[in-house]
Structure 1
Amino acid sequence: MTLPVMEPDVDADILKRWAHTIDEGPFSSLCWGERIAFGNPDSLTLLGALAGWTERVPLVATVVVPQLHDPVMLAKGLATGDLLCGGRLTVGLGVGGRHEDYRAVGADPKSQTMRDMAERVAIMQRVWAGEKITDSVLPVGPSPAREGGPRLLVGTTGPKTVRSAAPWAEGLAGISMDLDLEKENALFDVARDAWAAAGKPKPHLATSFWFALGEGDAPRQQVIQHLRHYMNWIPREYVDALAPTAGWAGTEEELVAVLRGFAEIGTSEVHLIPTSSDIDQVRRVAELVSEVSAHTGVSA
Structure 2
Amino acid sequence: MPVMEPDLDAATLKAWAQLIDEGPFSSLCWGERIAFTNPDSLTLMGALAAWTDRVRLVTTVVVPQLHDPVMLAKGLATGDMLSGGRLTVGLGVGGRHEDYNAVGADIATQTMRDMADSVAVMKRVWAQEKVTDSILPVGPPPLQTAGPELMVGTIGPKTIRSAAPWADGLAGTTLDLDVDKQSELFDVARTAWAAEGKQSPRLATSFWFAMGDADEARAQVHAHLLRYMNWIPAEFVDAMAPTTGWAGGEDDLLEVLRGFEAIGTDEIHLIPTSSDINQVRRVVDAIKDVYPLPV
Q: TM-score range by the shorter chain?
A: over 0.9
Match of 1:161 among 149, 159, 164: 159
Match of 1:148 among 146, 149, 155: 146
Do residues 287 (structure 1) and 281 (structure 2) align? no
Map 1:140-219 → 2, pairs under 5 A: 140-219=138-217
Partner of 1:107: 105
Q: 1:30 aligns to what SS in structure 2?
A: strand
Partner of 2:63: 65
Match of 2:23 among 22, 25, 31: 25
Distance in 1 between residues matched to 2:3 and 2:17, nearest whole Å = 11
Match of 1:235 among 230, 233, 247: 233
Contact 1:27 1:289 in 2 (8 A): no
Distance in 1 between residues matched to 2:94 and 2:289, nearest whole Å = 35
Partner of 1:39: 37
Q: 2:243 aligns to what SS in structure 1?
A: coil
The one-letter code of the counterpart of 1:65 is V
Contact 2:193 2:199 in 1 (8 A): yes
The one-letter code of the counterpart of 2:193 is W
Match of 1:124 among 122, 139, 152: 122
Distance in 2 between residues matched to 1:290 and 1:199, nearest whole Å = 37
Distance in 2 between residues matched to 1:65 and 1:91, nearest whole Å = 10
Map 1:254-293 → 2, pairs under 5 A: 254-293=252-291
Contact 2:214 2:247 in 1 (8 A): no
Q: Percent identity?
A: 72
Q: 1:243 aligns to what SS in structure 2?
A: helix
The one-letter code of the counterpart of 2:66 is L
Partner of 2:8: 10
Contact 2:58 2:87 in 1 (8 A): yes
Deviations 1:7-50 (A, max 9, x none): 01211111000001001121010000000000000000000000
Aligned length, in residue pairs? 294
* Structure 1: 4+ residue segments shifted above 3 A: none
Give the superposed CA RMSD. 1.2
The one-letter code of the counterpart of 1:249 is A
The one-letter code of the counterpart of 2:211 is L
What TM-score results when the alignment is normalised by the length of structure 1? 0.96
Q: 1:217 aligns to what SS in structure 2?
A: helix
Distance in 1 between residues matched to 2:289 and 2:254, nearest whole Å = 9
